């Protein structure tokens, strides 16, 4: 054993406590204009034997960690003291070992298959991997993966049912939008029709489905169509979860050039919030859970079960939009620097004082350096968001 195994670059926030197994490397599509993760990286399959060796390596690590726990008097349980003792060893300063240790600390029940589209693997191979995982780690209760809609649209319901029975319990799909012109503009490589077919296939198979939507992706040109058409696609799928991921443009994304040329105009925070309101209003006849589990989302508390939680979510948005401009600015800056988690934090005088200091500092910064007018607060807020992606 080499004391490590491959770990891919990302996983969904909801899989923070998961054991990460790399089934494929990078993304087979890798053309989306809004994505920077796999650019300049080549997609490749990993063999079943390679993956099994990684699982074996993880099993050996897990056994070593449990043995240390027994020696320390914790009866095999993964206590913080066990982790501290482990990470004091230089040879254990690698991502794979830390992933296994953290996974055991949180119960050792969840697994996430990396990278961007593990379902592209042949069903027979994926079944073998799933069964081997559960054989080596009987404690596993949930196995999840990313998948592209185009891939899922080609999988039969029968294949997906087999995967479900073998232990695949949830699939995360980056739908992003349900509006075809926007999907084409962003080079998503899928149509709304394919997304509906893919989603229905997963729902029918019994596998839990998380669909991701990107508020703000349509910019000023298509924000209304993006909101309404995305909701209409989801109305035809009825996924278990609808997860909001506010769109942000980084310099290493292909869409950045369009932004620089003025071809794409991004939305303000307030416009994104208004778009989410329209999106929620258009969702109808489904029992999905809306989740806002990402730091880029301004209103993290906009989440709930449909249909009963719909009015509560909309009223929270209305509460924000009804605030005076000065208080909306306060909340936006406070949220982006991590002081505010919800609108209920806004009245806190200590936090308000600290946020006001930051706002004043931002406005003075450029004036001091260049003798220019106060810095554009919108650009400053946007730059704060880059810390989170």
Last residue of a domain, one of 95, 129, 147: 147
Give the burial string for 181-206 (b: 16+ CB within 10 Å, else e). Answer: ebbebbebbbbbebbbbbbbbbbebe
CA geometry: angle 306, 272, 312, nearest 5 deg: 30
> What digits encode the pLDDT tens for the residues 177-222?
999 999 999 999 999 999 999 999 999 999 999 999 999 999 999 9
Q: What is the pLDDT of residue 253?
A: 94
Tally of domains in the chain: 2
- Map residue 299 onto helix, strand or coil: coil
Q: What is the pLDDT of residue 87?
A: 80
Whether the per-residue pLDDT at 386 is higher than 80: the answer is: no
Whether the per-residue pLDDT at 62 is higher than 50: the answer is: yes
Whether the per-residue pLDDT at 367 is higher than 60: the answer is: no
- The domain of 88 spans 1-147
- Percent of the chain's residues with pLDDT above 90: 80
Give the burial string for 49-79 (b: 16+ CB within 10 Å, else e). Answer: eebebbbebbbebbebbbebbeeeeeeeebe
In a domain, 280, yes or no: no
- Percent of the chain's residues with pLDDT above 70: 95
Last residue of a domain, one of 112, 147, 182: 147
Q: What is the pLDDT of residue 2?
A: 55
More confident residue, 138 or 388: 138
Whether the per-residue pLDDT at 32 is higher than 60: the answer is: yes
In a domain, 79, yes or no: yes
pLDDT confidence of 175, banded at 50, 70, 90? very high
Residue 189: which region, alpha, beta or left (left: phi > 0; alpha: psi -120 to 50)?
Answer: left
Instruction: Please choose, from the candidates 279, 197, 195, 199, the residue with its C-alpha nearest in 3D space to the C-alpha of residue 245.
Output: 279
pLDDT confidence of 381, banded at 50, 70, 90? confident
Q: What is the pLDDT of residue 389?
A: 57
More confident residue, 31 or 68: 31
Residues in Cβ contact with 384 at an 8 Å cutoff, skipping those fewer than 6 apart: 333, 336, 337
In a domain, 182, yes or no: no
Last residue of a domain, one of 147, 176, 211: 147
In a domain, 12, yes or no: yes
Give the chain's mean pLDDT.
93
Q: What is the pLDDT of residue 366?
A: 54
Q: Does residue 64 contact residue 100 with C-beta atoms inside 8 Å?
A: no
More confident residue, 3 or 292: 292
Kindly list the distances between the CA atom of residue 318 and the CA atoms of 216, 221, 382, in Å, as whole numbers in the listed order.
18, 23, 23
What's the whole-model pTM score? 0.92
- Map residue 145 onto helix, strand or coil: strand
In a domain, 168, yes or no: no
Average pLDDT of 371-383?
67
In a domain, 337, yes or no: yes
In a domain, 83, yes or no: yes
47-61, 73-87, 290-304: range with lowest mean pLDDT: 73-87
In a domain, 225, yes or no: no
Give the DSSP letter string of 197-237.
HHHHHHHHHT-EEEEEE-TTTTHHHHHHHHHHHHHHHHHHH
Q: What is the pLDDT of residue 91?
A: 66
> What digits encode the pLDDT tens for the residues 119-140?
999 999 999 999 999 999 999 9
């Amino acid at each position: 054993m080499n004391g490590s195994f491959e770990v891919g670059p990302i996983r969904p926030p909801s899989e923070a406590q998961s054991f990460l197994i790399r089934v494929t490397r990078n993304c087979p599509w890798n053309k989306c204009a809004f994505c920077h993760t796999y650019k300049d990286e080549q997609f490749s399959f990993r063999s079943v034997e390679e993956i099994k060796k990684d699982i074996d390596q993880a099993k050996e690590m897990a056994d070593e960690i449990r043995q240390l726990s027994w020696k320390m008097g914790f009866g095999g349980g993964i206590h913080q003291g066990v982790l501290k003792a482990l990470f004091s060893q230089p040879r254990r300063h690698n991502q794979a070992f830390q992933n296994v240790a953290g996974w055991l600390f949180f119960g050792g029940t969840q697994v996430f298959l990396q990278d961007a589209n593990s379902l592209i693997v042949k069903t027979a191979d994926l079944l073998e991997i799933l069964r081997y995982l559960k054989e080596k780690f009987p404690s596993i209760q949930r196995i999840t993966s990313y998948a592209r809609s185009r891939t899922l649209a080609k999988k039969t319901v029968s294949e997906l049912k087999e995967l479900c029975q073998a232990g695949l319990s949830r699939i995360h799909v980056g739908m992003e939008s349900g509006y075809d012109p926007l999907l084409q503009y962003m080079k998503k490589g899928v149509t709304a029709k394919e997304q509906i077919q893919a989603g229905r296939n997963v729902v029918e198979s019994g596998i839990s489905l998380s669909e991701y939507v990107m508020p703000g992706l349509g910019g000023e040109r298509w924000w209304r169509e993006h909101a309404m058409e995305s909701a209409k696609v989801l109305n035809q799928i009825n996924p278990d979860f609808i997860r909001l991921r506010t769109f942000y443009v980084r310099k290493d994304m292909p869409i950045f050039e369009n932004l620089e040329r003025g071809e794409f105009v991004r939305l303000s925070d307030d416009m994104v919030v208004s778009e989410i309101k329209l999106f929620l209003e258009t969702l109808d006849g489904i029992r999905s859970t809306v989740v806002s589990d990402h730091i880029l989302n301004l209103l993290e508390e906009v989440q709930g079960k449909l249909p009963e939680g719909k009015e509560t979510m909309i009223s929270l948005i209305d509460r924000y939009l009804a605030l005076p401009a000065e208080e909306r600015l306060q909340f936006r800056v406070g949220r982006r620097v991590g002081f505010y988690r919800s609108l209920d934090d806004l009245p806190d005088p200590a936090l308000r004082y600290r946020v006001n200091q930051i706002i004043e500092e931002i406005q003075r910064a450029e004036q001091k350096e260049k003798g220019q007018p106060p810095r554009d607060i919108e650009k400053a807020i946007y730059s704060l968001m880059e810390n989170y992606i």
